């Protein structure tokens, strides 16, 4: 397993133990980076207007379209470290 993947998995674990809950915009960025790092580009259908949370998550993930898995992992690691 690569060092980046190991550090990413540690950051995922650390994200569950942050001293303060991040604001919603930061939570959406964390979600988007995680999905991009683990799944790749968003190919799912955009949720309807009545699903505001689903739309926000979809938009957050879609905002990282074209970002490589490794780059998304590194950005995720950097973001979690800045919040710790």
Q: What is the pLDDT of residues 10-39, one digit of tens each?
A: 999 999 999 999 999 999 999 999 999 999
**How much is the average pLDDT of 62-75?**
97
Helix (H, G, I), strand (E, B) or coil at 68: coil
CA Rg value for the chain: 13
Query: Under CATH, which architecture does the 3-83 domain have?
Result: Up-down Bundle (1.20)
Instruction: State the Cα torsion 34-39-44-49 to the nearest 10°.
Output: -10
* Token pair recorded at residue 29: 């960025």
| 84 vs 73: CA distance, rounded Å | 17
Q: Which residues have a Cβ under 8 Å from the Cβ of 23 and sit 6 or more positions away?
A: none
Average pLDDT of the chain? Answer: 95
């Amino acid at each position: 397993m690569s060092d980046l993947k190991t550090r990413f998995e540690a950051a995922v674990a650390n994200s569950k133990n942050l001293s303060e809950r991040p604001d919603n915009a930061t939570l959406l960025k964390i979600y988007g980076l995680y999905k991009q790092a683990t799944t790749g580009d968003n190919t799912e259908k955009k949720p309807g207007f009545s699903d505001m949370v689903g739309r926000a998550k979809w938009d957050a993930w879609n905002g990282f379209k074209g970002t490589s898995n490794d780059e998304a992992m590194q950005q995720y690691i950097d973001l979690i470290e800045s919040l710790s």
